[in-house]
Amino acid sequence: MVKEIYTDKSPAAIGPYSQAIQAGDYLYVSGQIPVNPESGEVVDGIEKQTKQVMENMKAVLEEAGASFAQVAKFTIFINNMDDFATINELYGSYLEKPYPARATVEVSRLPKDVLIEMDAIVYLGN
C-alpha cells in the first residue's frame, strides 16, 4: 500500500508524479528543484539553489513526519561538477552524523535549466 505525500510548502509536481510516496517503512522523495514554492520562480545562483532544494526537501520530509536524520540515501544531480564543494558545504549544514549514503552525478541538463536537483530515500521505521 502506498500513500502520497503532498505539501504546499514545496513546489507542486510539474508532471505526473508525487512529491513523495510512502511505501511501508520507506519514503521515496521525488527530485526537488530550486523553485520557491511561494513565487513559483527558480532562485538564482548555486548557493541559493542548493539552499532552496534543501528547504523544499525539508518541507516534504516534515509533511511525512520525518527529518533529514532519517534519510538513508540522497542522489544529487548537478550541471557542473565545479560547484561540488559549494553544494557539499551547504548540503552538509543540514545534516548530522551518521550521514546518509549519497551519489552525486553531473548531468547535461535539468528541468527548468536549474543547476541542482536532489531526491531521497528515507527510512521511517524504528
**In this predicted model, what pLDDT tens digit does every residue of 87-119 receive, in sequence order?**
999 999 999 999 999 999 999 999 999 999 999
Confidence of residue 125 (pLDDT cuts 50, 70, 90): confident
Q: How crowded is the C-beta side of 3, counted as CA atoms within 13 Å?
A: 9
Count of CB atoms situated within 10 Å of the CB of 110:
16
546518509: which residue's cell? Answer: 100
Q: What value does the mean pLDDT take over residues 14-22?
A: 94
**Amino acid type, 9:** K
A 10 A CB-CB count for 121 gives 16
Which grid coordinates belong to 110? Answer: 535539468
Is the pLDDT confidence value at 126 over 80? Answer: no
Record the cell numbers describing residue 20, joined without a space: 513523495
- How high is the mean pLDDT of the chain? 96
CA distances from 15 to 2, 11, 55, 119 (A): 19, 12, 21, 15
